[in-house]
Chain A
């Protein structure tokens, strides 16, 4: 059974090995240079003083200006983001669906091995391959992006891509391996249900991407209780104020005069009045913000004794979140593996 699994998985295994090898060369070659750049920036052992902040800004500026690093950084995230869907579609979905489609299940399931054993070996070995592939790539990318993480995350126009934020979270650490193996069994189960390879592949991609989108919005924020920070709204902080269409006011973080939450994943950010109610800009035409200058408006807001409330996952929660998410996903994976085995035993009978 092991032999058959390896033989049928040969092409996919070679593709995966080749991809890992190419990426290992690309990131392995540039990684030390990036680390070198970081060492020269003077950031190592600097701490979090204002002097270090400007050093970090300078380091990031040099990174952004480079031809290669931004491309490798975003390519790495992209590859690790789409890897689960690819594994689910190309390794998982055809596993049973192709046997059913070509009729070879009648050959495969009439050898000595029971369907349970057939399924257990296939799920076990290819599941391990999924974990190994995604795990290796994540390890490689996490190592490469180490200096970027140390400097607080890659800069973008609004803030920074810190590793705890949704896009980065499943491109680093141990979670990518769990996502890959979960996507694999999702593909297997869909292949069993749909029984047609191409359709199963398409549905698998949709479901995995949907899950990748829903998970950080609805599940990951609650894996650990978010931290709640409050700070008085200052005139200086209002320079980085965002007003929503409903008139709600959100003051940014990590800006002059605003709370310092380096590397945090901000879940909610709003402003409350001294009585504890959510603050909205008054819609009346006579208010300072409706007829006055922006400066007059800011001054009026600053005089309202408002408090900024931020709920967030601090950067220090990264590994704990990673392990909780990994354990949870592996638990779901095991359950789906059981479903796949049970369904295969009953299939077409």
Chain B
């Protein structure tokens, strides 16, 4: 057993009021998170929301401007012991263009103590990649698969993937996600993966973080997030008709009907309303829509960031 991942550490990523600025622009503002170890987390948000910044902070590639972040109980990216525990598939899945597929596996083997050569070799076989092929000649999908193989074979405790499928065609996207799902089914590995599409995430994730306009809107286990949101349809949905803890995230009018995404502990009741349970996409789109209207209320966001994050420790 690794002493540094003792029983006190139940968080894969633990962020406390983390902000990060580039010059005078805030890429991430006052972000607090407790992503439990063992979870498969989807980080979703539009392009430019700060997803890459948050993941870079978790790998130690970036440091927070204010606040603190701990990954698997330690300072991210600090020292070999920490680097060894975290696997990272960076955006655009960089590989060495002049190095062959086999060369990449050798690189992994030479540079990593926990390298699982068998896993790497069998994945390359399954992908039907020619080991002699230079990585620069791989397709986008193959390159992403190679990058994933490199990260998986290091046997990390936490695997971080930054938009790994963003530039892939639907088929390659499906294959990549299938490969990821298969790899994460077995060993107890935490995964955090970002995407701007909910559909990439909803099948494999059990924890969701919605990041819009540099702020965390919602974070929590998928089941809790779904249970805490309601789609309310009726002739009119007004804040004053809702219970005290409820909040309208977004609302749309269509053919005289208003449909609103409402956050509340219990489903709001009124005779004129039809209340249904939203799916993950409804929830995420609701928050994306709200941010798009420029109606991000700081106080509400802060509440959102803290409230659902109060999750039970991982089993």
Contacts and interface: CB of A to CB of B under 8 A. Distances in A.
Interface of A: 1-4, 7-8, 102-104, 106-107, 109-114, 117, 348-349
A3 to B, nearest CB: 4
Contact of A107 (B62, B90, B103): B90
Contact of B79 (A4, A106, A107, A114): A114
Contacts of B91: 106
Nearest to A118: B111
A110 B112 CA distance: 10
The 5 closest A-B pairs by CB, nearest first: A106-B90, A3-B110, A103-B94, A111-B111, A110-B88
A125 to B, nearest CB: 14
A126 B67 CA distance: 39
A104 B96 contact: yes
Given A3-B110, A114-B79, A348-B62, 19 more contacts: A3-B106, A4-B110, A7-B99, A102-B97, A104-B94, A104-B95, A107-B147, A107-B150, A110-B83, A110-B88, A111-B83, A111-B108, A111-B111, A111-B112, A112-B84, A112-B111, A112-B154, A113-B80, A349-B63
B59 interface: yes
B68 to A, nearest CB: 15
Given A7-B107, A106-B94, A114 B80 contact: yes
Nearest to A110: B88
Given A7-B107, A112-B84, A107 B112 contact: no
In the complex, which of the residues A4, A104, A110 has the most CB atoms of chain B within 10 Å of its own CB atom? A110
Nearest to B84: A112
A112 B113 contact: yes
Nearest to A109: B61
A165 to B, nearest CB: 43
Contacts of B79: 114
B122 to A, nearest CB: 21
A4 B106 CA distance: 9
Contacts of A7: 99, 103, 106-107
B94 A102 contact: yes
28 contacts: A1-B110, A8-B96, A102-B96, A103-B90, A103-B94, A104-B94, A106-B90, A106-B94, A107-B94, A107-B150, A109-B61, A110-B59, A110-B61, A110-B83, A110-B87, A110-B88, A110-B90, A111-B83, A111-B111, A111-B154, A112-B83, A112-B84, A112-B111, A113-B83, A114-B83, A117-B80, A349-B61, A349-B62
A117 B80 CA distance: 10
Interface string B7-22: 0000000000000000
B92 A103 contact: yes
B124 interface: no
A156 to B, nearest CB: 46
In the complex, which of the residues A1, A106, A114, A117 has the most CB atoms of chain B within 10 Å of its own CB atom? A106
A117 B61 CA distance: 16
B248 interface: no
Nearest to B81: A112
Given A7-B103, A106-B94, A110-B88, A1 B83 contact: no
A95 to B, nearest CB: 14
A348 B59 CA distance: 13
In the complex, which of the residues A8, A104, A112, A117 has the most CB atoms of chain B within 10 Å of its own CB atom? A112
B112 A112 contact: yes
A349 to B, nearest CB: 5
B44 interface: no
Contacts of A1: 110-111
B189 interface: no
Contact of B86 (A102, A110, A114): A110
A2 B99 CA distance: 16
Nearest to B92: A103
Contacts of B63: 349
Contacts of A110: 59, 61, 83, 86-88, 90, 151
A176 B264 CA distance: 75
Contact of B61 (A2, A8, A106, A113): A106
A349 B61 CA distance: 6
Nearest to A3: B110
A68 to B, nearest CB: 39
Contacts of B147: 107
B117 to A, nearest CB: 14
A92 B59 CA distance: 27
A113 B86 CA distance: 12
Interface string B37-72: 000000000000000000000011111000000000
B192 to A, nearest CB: 14
Contacts of A106: 61, 88, 90-91, 94
Given A1-B110, A349-B63, A107 B95 contact: yes
A4 B111 contact: yes
A10 to B, nearest CB: 10
Nearest to A115: B77
Contacts of A102: 94, 96-97
A107 B146 CA distance: 12
Nearest to A107: B94
Nearest to B85: A112
Given A1-B110, A4-B111, A114-B79, A107 B96 contact: yes
Contacts of A103: 90, 92, 94
Nearest to B94: A103
B88 A113 contact: no
Nearest to B109: A3
Contacts of A349: 60-63
